[in-house]
């Protein structure tokens, strides 16, 4: 029942915020008339919409009917869709939310005479990758006036009430430009990650060394038996070694999921940027020297921006982290 209620709340909120008209809204059913743009995002028929736009056809806004409990569905209602984890329509809603919510600009609700300060907030997906993978969320914010950076490792921030329009008359001017702000965020992120427990990376390196030893024994045996193919076998051995380094080498990937340009009250700034969470950084810092691991040419990935110490993983921030707001 908890999942059903969570999905119903999410779906209802999604359609309200995207401008849909609610036709029926109950605990077990939701019927909506969705805007055309939303129908494009929730369906998989690009050629149909290309034809509509090319011919100038006028189409009626589509109507969706969702049920959240299949046992409560009406037998004669064949047009209703069951909205559940893994369903096509729910997945498209999630993807739509991710696209629409990737960049936001909001203001904390406050008194008109309050001075609001600009903050750049980024939610990151941190991936610990080797022959195994672990993902977690992390929030990082930079004060665009003083340059302080706060890391919230659990991605949970002190709650604030936000609005699309400012209720305050005074907005403090940012002194830090977007490229510098993203550099500060990446530097603080590397600093934060360097203080974590890296035993998992040491264990991954040990597993890689064991695989390299097995690989060496295999090729040494083959070379003794096929001396005439030495050049070809040595080239193949080198490729396999590089593949092992990439597949089993520990690294940390930092992928920015959402950017928020916020204007916060002094009280919220005090809470978000307390001494336990924040630090002042004036320039990016590189924490780890290059390990010298190159990627195999077949791998569709970019080199780490900062690779690790021998027993530390390399850290790469996704290239989209350089974008910021237009």
Residue pLDDT, tens place only, 96-153: 888 887 888 999 999 999 999 999 999 898 999 988 898 888 999 999 999 999 998 8
Give residue for tokens 């002190």: 158
pLDDT at 27: 83
pLDDT at 77: 64
- Average the pLDDT over 301-309 and give the result: 31
Q: What is the pLDDT of residues 250-265, one digit of tens each?
A: 999 988 888 999 999 9
Most confident of 80-89, 216-225, 243-252, 259-268: 259-268
Residue 253 near residue 279 (C-beta atoms within 8 A): no
pLDDT at 3: 76
205 by DSSP, 3-state: which?
helix
CB crowding 5-42: b at 16 or more within 10 Å, else e: eebbeebbebbeebebeeeeeeeebbbbebbeebbbbb
What is the spatial distance between Cα 263 and Cα 141, in angstroms, rounded to a whole number?
12
pLDDT at 157: 76
What is the spatial distance between Cα 121 and Cα 103, in angstroms, rounded to a whole number?
10
Which one is predicted more confidently, 306 or 151? 151
- Average the pLDDT over 18-42 and give the result: 88
Q: What is the DSSP string of 15-38?
A: HHHTTPEEEEE-SSEEEEE--HHH
Percent of the chain past pLDDT 90, that is, above it, reads 17
Is residue 59's pLDDT more than 60? Answer: yes
Percent of the chain past pLDDT 70, that is, above it, reads 81
- Average the pLDDT over 206-228 and give the result: 87
Integer CA distances (angstroms), 141 to 119, 151, 167, in order: 7, 7, 22
Which one is predicted more confidently, 191 or 296? 191
């Amino acid at each position: 029942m908890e999942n059903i209620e969570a999905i119903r709340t999410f779906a209802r909120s999604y359609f309200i915020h995207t401008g849909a008209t609610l036709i029926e809204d109950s605990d077990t059913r939701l019927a909506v008339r969705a805007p055309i743009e939303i129908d494009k995002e929730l369906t998989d028929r690009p050629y149909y919409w290309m034809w509509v736009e090319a011919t100038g056809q006028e189409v009626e806004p589509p109507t969706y009917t969702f049920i959240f409990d299949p046992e409560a569905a009406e037998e004669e209602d064949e047009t209703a869709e069951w909205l559940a984890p893994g369903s096509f329509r729910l997945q498209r809603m999630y993807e739509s939310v991710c696209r629409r919510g990737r960049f936001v600009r909001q203001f904390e609700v406050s008194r008109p005479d309050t001075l609001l300060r600009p903050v750049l907030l980024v939610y990151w997906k941190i991936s610990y990758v080797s022959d195994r993978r672990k993902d977690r969320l992390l929030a990082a914010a930079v004060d665009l006036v003083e340059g302080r950076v706060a890391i919230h490792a659990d991605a949970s921030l002190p709650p604030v009430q936000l609005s699309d329009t400012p209720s305050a008359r005074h907005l403090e001017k940012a002194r830090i430009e977007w490229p510098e702000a993203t550099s500060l965020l990446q530097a603080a992120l590397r600093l934060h990650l360097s203080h974590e427990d890296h035993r998992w990376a040491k264990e991954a390196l040990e597993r890689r060394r064991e695989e390299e030893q097995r690989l060496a024994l295999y090729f040494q045996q083959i070379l003794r038996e096929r001396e005439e193919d030495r050049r070809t076998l040595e080239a193949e051995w080198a490729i396999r070694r590089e593949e092992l380094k990439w597949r089993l080498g520990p690294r940390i990937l930092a992928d920015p999921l959402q950017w928020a340009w916020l204007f916060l009250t002094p009280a919220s700034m005090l809470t978000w940027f307390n001494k336990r969470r924040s630090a002042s950084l004036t320039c990016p810092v590189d924490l780890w020297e290059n390990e010298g691991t190159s990627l195999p040419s077949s791998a569709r990935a970019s080199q780490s921006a900062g690779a690790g110490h021998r027993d530390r993983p390399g850290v790469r921030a996704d290239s989209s982290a350089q974008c910021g707001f237009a």
